[in-house]
Amino acid sequence: MPARDLREWIALLEREGELVRVGAEVDPHLEVTEIVDRTVRAGGPALLFEHPKGSATPLLVNQFGTERRMCLAFGVEQLDDVATKLGDILEMQPPEGLVAKVRGLRTLKSIADSRPKLVKRGVSQEVVLKGDDVDLGRFPVQTCWPGDAGPFITLPAVITRDPRTGQRNVGMYRMQVLGPRSTAMHWQIHKDGRADYLFTEGRMEIAVALGLDPISAYSASAPLPKHIDEFMFAGFLRDSPIELVKGVSIDLEVPADAEIVLEGYIDKNDLTSEGPFGDHTGFYTPAEQFPVFNVTAITMRKDAIYPSIVVGKPPQEDAWLGKATERIFLPAVQMTVPEIVDYDLPVAGAFHNLAIVSIRKAFPGHARKVMHAIWGLGMLSLTKGVVIVDQHVDVHDYEQVMFYVGANVDPKRDVVITEGPLDHLDHAPTLQFMGGKIGIDATAKGPAEGTREWPTEIEMSDEVRDLVDRRWAEYGVPTVPPTSNGGIRQSSRRLSRR
């Protein structure tokens, strides 16, 4: 059973030898970042800084920093198991026969049971601070990089409501601390929270939850369609509904089990200069205008823990949040584009720079069809480069992919250059928000696509392979590890080798 709140999660990490408590006084201004950066790159543990300088609140960081911890968070052996759960729902057909009907009902029930549950009381409101008692300075908010504009809250779950439908949204948007009772709200142009803000006239109430169970925290970062409540998604993924309580100063519901909740509002026309901040692009993103969030109340547990994460030049801890999304959303991608076998978003490509996609190619021009599908699909539409390979290629094995890009591509014939929307923070395009896209068709081609006869790829025969398997011991040759292996494990090795 996945952890239900941050306390259970920390206890689980500790039991599994995945957490180190740091007793020394450490400065949230830059020093924590350098420690975390080294720890993440070494595949090291989650860190609980018990005495962050200048604050009585402990700071938890690197809770998500390895594939193993990500799997512990979801209670699975491998992240693909989470995808299977989602795939079962997406592939639901009208059931035939009693067994299928019962199974179908069970699946539907698990969706119905995922809806957040309103409860009367929550530990997130053990302490209530209002008015002049509100002071964000009590928390060990990190200043991450030397060129940053100041401290910012790095791991918030920002809860908003669509004024047209009343539908909840939960998103993770960095929040620059401007003073004891205000922050900026950095929701980018393509995000749901931003859309809710644009649809609101005048004042918009907002709640920010800090220190959640790991699945809820992950869900705030997941690229769900706008009409899907991320807390419902979290409830579905962890097999138990998220419990919510009414806010103490606003008309929004907030997680009952959070460590800390900030309640407040944004006045639509109150903007501030936000940034610059070092971000997952590996560069400082320049200052821009974003709304000011005014905090009217802080509620929290008596001995609250403040959660943080560092984003910067990849790989960082957020690599694993991104990899979880890559795996979990594969069935959703396949629902729209069923010829996709697998895909890989390299961590070094900051997730929006490059996608490698394998397909069951069935007709001339098929690779181009899939490129354009990617460029039209949810947040994947921001992908700058798409490489398409045939179904037998392991998209997670970058050397294999490089082999086919070199061997199968005539750049004049197989490269598509087009344009479209790009990530808000991408500094490379001449214009912000839009620019060039590149697609590379590295599949095998045939005369129908204007090539000569395509040659046959070298493969040893099964007979000889079996023979050598049988006789291997006889040869006395030391065993060599296989050159290619499956899935994310390959990328995790690459991640940790850096």
Ligand X SMILES: Cc1cc2nc3c(=O)[nH]c(=O)nc-3n(C[C@H](O)[C@H](O)[C@H](O)COP(=O)(O)O)c2cc1C
How far apart CA 358 and CA 175 sit, in angstroms, is: 38
Assess 87 for contact with ligand X (CB under 6 A).
no
Give me the residues paired with residue 328 across strands.
Answer: none
How far apart CA 274 and CA 429 sit, in angstroms, is: 21
Contact mark string toward ligand X, 122..161, x via CB under 6 A: ----------------------------------------
Which of Mn ion, ligand X, none interacts with 29 (beta carbon under 5 to 8 A by kind)?
Answer: none
Least distance CB 165 / Mn ion (angstroms)? 13
Contact between residue 277 and residue 148 where contact means Cβ atoms under 8 Å apart? yes
> Among 174, 301, 323, 352, which residue interacts with ligand X (rule: CB under 6 A)?
174
Contact between residue 134 and residue 180 where contact means Cβ atoms under 8 Å apart? yes
> Among 74, 173, 293, 375, which residue interacts with ligand X (rule: CB under 6 A)?
173
Alpha carbon 351 to its chain centroid, in Å, reads: 9
192 carries an active-site annotation: no
How far apart CA 88 and CA 475 sit, in angstroms, is: 47
Which of ligand X, Mn ion, none interacts with 318 (beta carbon under 5 to 8 A by kind)?
Answer: ligand X
Least distance CB 154 / ligand X (angstroms)? 6
How far apart CA 320 and CA 38 sit, in angstroms, is: 16
Active-site choice (148, 279, 397, 414): 279
Which of ligand X, Mn ion, none interacts with 222 (beta carbon under 5 to 8 A by kind)?
Answer: ligand X
Closest residue to ligand X, Cβ-based?
171
Residue 194: strand, helix, or coil = helix
How far apart CA 344 and CA 374 sit, in angstroms, is: 12
Closest residue to Mn ion, Cβ-based?
192
Least distance CB 413 / ligand X (angstroms)? 35
What the block records as the tokens of 261 is 């909740």
Angstrom CA distances, 370 to 337, 343, 363, 411, 418, stand at: 7, 12, 12, 18, 14
Assess 323 for contact with ligand X (CB under 6 A).
no
Contact mark string toward ligand X, 294..313, x via CB under 6 A: ---------------x-x--
Q: How do 277-278 and 284-285 pair as beta strands?
A: antiparallel
Q: Which residues of 16-34 are buried (b: 16+ CB within 10 A; e: fewer)?
A: eebbeebeeebebbebbbe
> Among 186, 323, 327, 396, which residue interacts with ligand X (rule: CB under 6 A)?
186
What the block records as the tokens of 401 is 């992919």
Assess 169 for contact with ligand X (CB under 6 A).
yes
Assess 188 for contact with ligand X (CB under 6 A).
yes
Q: How many residues bind Mn ion (CB under 5 A)?
A: 3
Selected range binding ligand X among 75-83, 112-120, 169-177, 339-347, rule: CB under 6 A: 169-177
Least distance CB 226 / ligand X (angstroms)? 7
Which of ligand X, Mn ion, none interacts with 78 (beta carbon under 5 to 8 A by kind)?
Answer: none
Site for Mn ion in 152-211 (CB under 5 A): 169, 192
Q: Which residue, 48 or 224, has its beta carbon nearer to Mn ion?
A: 224
Selected range binding Mn ion among 25-33, 223-231, 271-279, 368-376, rule: CB under 5 A: 223-231
Contact mark string toward ligand X, 208..227, x via CB under 6 A: -------------xxx----
How far apart CA 354 and CA 314 sit, in angstroms, is: 14
Least distance CB 302 / ligand X (angstroms)? 27
Site for ligand X in 189-208 (CB under 6 A): 191-193
**Element holding 81 (H helix, E strand):** helix 80-90
Least distance CB 369 / ligand X (angstroms)? 26
Q: Which residue, 156 or 346, has its beta carbon nearer to Mn ion?
A: 156
Q: Which residue, 35 or 224, has its beta carbon nearer to Mn ion?
A: 224
Angstrom CA distances, 235 to 106, 264, 369, 386, stand at: 15, 25, 35, 33
> Among 171, 247, 291, 307, which residue interacts with ligand X (rule: CB under 6 A)?
171
> Among 253, 274, 318, 394, which residue interacts with ligand X (rule: CB under 6 A)?
318
Least distance CB 230 / Mn ion (angstroms)? 6
Q: How do 157-161 and 152-153 pair as beta strands?
A: unpaired
Assess 352 for contact with ligand X (CB under 6 A).
no
Which of ligand X, Mn ion, none interacts with 394 (beta carbon under 5 to 8 A by kind)?
Answer: none
How far apart CA 123 and CA 243 sit, in angstroms, is: 11
Residues 6+ apart with CB under 8 A from 379: 190, 223, 352
Selected range binding ligand X among 181-189, 357-365, 414-422, 471-479, rule: CB under 6 A: 181-189
Give me the residues paired with residue 47 across strands.
Answer: 20, 61
HSE (side-chain half, CA atoms, 13 Å) at 154: 29
How far apart CA 12 and CA 198 sit, in angstroms, is: 41
- The conformational region for residue 442 under phi > 0 = left, psi -120 to 50 = alpha, else beta, is alpha
Assess 187 for contact with ligand X (CB under 6 A).
yes
User: Where along the sequence are the contacts to ligand X (CB under 6 A)?
Assistant: 169, 171-174, 186-188, 191-193, 221-223, 309, 311, 318, 321
Q: What does the binding site for Mn ion look like in residue numbers (CB under 5 A)?
A: 169, 192, 224
Catalytically active residues are: 279
